[in-house]
Structure 1
Amino acid sequence: MSRVGLKLLFCVLWVCVVAAEGGAQRVSGRAINARASAKSLLVVTVTKGFRHRSIPTAERVIRELGQQNGWRVDFARTDEELRQKTARQQLALYDGVIFANTTGELPLADREDFLRWINEGHAFIGIHAASDTFNKGVFPPYIEMLGGEFNGHDRPMSVTLRVEDRTHPATRHLSERFAVFDEIYRICNFDRRAAHVLLAVDFDPVSKEPGYHPLAWTKLYGKGRVFYTAFGHHDEVLQADWFRQHLRGGIKWALGEERASSAPQFHGKDGRIACK
């Protein structure tokens, strides 16, 4: 091959190498951007009161949902981990926090600042005993953020739920009336004028007297989004397909990945449910 031919061949090979490297960089760049855009969740399972035996199941279900939906999932299981990961500098790493059957007065790094962080536009998801956290006057601003607090329960029972919003991603897979067996909480310190109710029953879960009792809802907290579900006491519920879809839809709404109404459905003079 002539010297000119060798130079031409070298030039062609050089162009191919540069093009290949550029393509690899673009692919790598897309992968980096995809990782950067993935939502990140901190799952808190610290308890200072009753500790649910189903917490390991809740952790596994949330981890699986994270893998299926592209969310990065981190855990705070001890007091030290919770203090460290809820410090403002560390909270900057997350898009939302899940309280999975937490109870009692949790050792957050700064509980007032934690609420400010949610208010600034982050997601809060509460499962079951999240309403038995910072309650009974321990930290009223938390209950205001969540929308209601635990006020007792009877033995686990089967109840027929009324689905209040069949278009929301957390409930659109459910029929208008839906039966479930779980530990059913009575919720108090709840204002129907401030929350968008998703699931409710028509009786007091403790006294069995007729009345309106919410069991899952969403609400806005400043620029933040709050989703709470009172279900998740039993392993069987946490693992059930209906609950996994329910939780997945609630998380996606809270993270802003799916849209749905957050407007309260009740517009009467007094929609308050007081504590007994």
Structure 2
Amino acid sequence: MHRRQAIHRMSAAGLGLMLDPALNLLGKNSPRRRILFFTKSSGYEHSSIKRNGNELSHAERILTELGTRHGFDVRATKDGSVFTPENLKGYDAFFFYTTGDLTQAGTDKNPPMSNEGKTAFLEGIHSGKGFLGTHSASDTFHSVGDAFQTQALDARDPYMQMLGGEFIRHGAQQEANMKLTSAHFPGCEKIKESFRLKDEWYSLKNFSSDLHVILVQDTKGMQGSDYQRPDYPATWARHHGKGRVFYTSMGHREDVWTNPTFQSVLVGAIAWATGNVNVKTPPNLKTVTPQAETIPPKPAKE
């Protein structure tokens, strides 16, 4: 066995131990789903998805290994030209860890998505495919307008209308409290009422009124002006036409990707988004985060 192969297998085995051995959210008789993991950076490129040559990035490798363990296939790519109507037929869900306007080559210079590809991708979700986004998926295809103001639903980018929330800014990395508001959502069953995690936390806006909020950003005690606001959604699920959409702001730090709670939430979300698990996801935005749209004022130039 080559050394690289041995390291890869050891890594996969190690990651497997991080999840509860009883966690089998995709089910023995469930269809094996195909996930397109898109990690193009037209804006800022995060270290978790930065590749070294042709080797998969940290996040790409972990999601692929989780798929091997839990029964779904992952194709990781930074090539936006794969978004054609014909190619998209081969996938059950799309998973984005992206930044910027993906129809532009941008920072990483990888081929961009065409405007037609963006339309086909969004139509695919509306017609029943799943979507999952981590962290900077909300820092992608921004709506036109002031970042520190909310936009009316019809003024938001179609991608943001699908996602259900939009990035404003972030402060310094810090440990913060995540409050669980949907204990029945797949992958969350063993999470207690809350947990603490160090990450780069996004301040968000433009929330869809139909969000099923899973985790709430507890802003009490957080450092920085971006978090001087009432609690707001950090992880949610919603329906977009016939499609199922999931987003979490977690995932900036590489050690978050090896965190067992984060992995459990991801695997559960994939099971739900691809239709292998069915749970009720009623809107609860106004109940669990009634002041979510109260956002911090635009800061003075720093």
TM bin (shorter chain): 0.7 to 0.9
1:136: Cα distance to partner? Answer: 3.9
Alignment of 1:14-93 (within 5 A): 37-55=31-49, 56-77=57-78, 81-83=79-81, 85-93=82-90
Same amino acid, percent of matched pairs: 33
CA 1:167/1:132 → structure 2, altered by over 3 Å: closer, same or farther? same
Q: Say which SS state the counterpart of residue 97 (structure 1) adopts.
A: strand
Q: CA deviation at 1:114?
A: 1.4
1:161-176 to 2 correspondences below 5 Å: 161-176=178-193
Contact 1:189 1:272 in 2 (8 A): no
TM-score, L = length of structure 2: 0.73
Q: Is the 8 A contact 2:231 2:291 kept in 1?
A: no
Specify the SS of the correspondent of 1:114: helix
Shift of 1:209: 2.5
Shift in alpha-carbon separation, 1:183–1:267, aligned structure 2, 3 A: closer
Q: Match for residue 53 of structure 2?
A: none
1:158 and 2:175 aligned: yes
As a proportion of its length, which structure holds more helix? 1
The corresponding residue for 1:125 is 132
Give 1 or 2: higher strand fraction. Answer: 1
Give the 3-state SS of the residue equivalent to 1:211 in structure 2. Answer: coil
Deviations 1:151-210 (A, max 9, x none): 11110111111101111113222110211110011011113x310000012328642424
**Which residue of the partner structure matches residue 293 of structure 2?**
273
Aligned length: 235
Q: 1:274 to 1:131 in 2, by over 3 A?
A: farther
**Residue 49 to residue 167, structure 1, CA distance change in 2 (3 Å):** same
Q: Distance in 2 between matches of 1:93 and 1:87?
A: 11
Q: Which has the larger radius of gyration?
A: 1
Post-superposition Cα deviations, 1:68-91, rounded to whole Å, max 9, x if no partner, equal 1221211222xxx321x2100000
Equivalent of residue 104 in structure 1, options 97, 100, 105: 100
The code of the aligned residue for 1:131 comes to S
Gaps of 5+ in 1: 1-33
CA distance in 1, matches of 2:176, 2:41: 27
The residue aligned with 1:245 is 264
TM-score scaled by structure 1? 0.79
Superposition CA RMSD, Å:
2.2
Structure 2 CA distance for aligned equivalents of residues 224 and 140 of structure 1: 18
Q: Distance in 2 between the 1:177 and 1:187 partners?
A: 20
Cα distance in 2 for residues equivalent to 1:219 and 1:98: 15
**Unaligned segments of structure 2, at least 5 residues:** 1-27, 50-56, 104-112, 146-155, 298-302
Give the C-alpha shift of residue 137 in structure 1: 2.1
Residue identity opposite 2:178 in structure 1: L
Distance 1:37 1:211 in 2: 41
**Aligned position for 1:21:** none
Structure 2 CA distance, aligned partners of 1:99 and 1:90? Answer: 16
Whether 1:259 and 2:278 are equivalent positions in the alignment is: yes
The 1:142–1:82 alpha-carbon spacing in structure 2 relative to 1, beyond 3 Å, is same
Find the partner of 2:204 among 179, 187, 191. 187
CA separation in 1, counterparts of 2:84 and 2:229? 44
Task: Name the counterpart of 2:20.
Answer: none
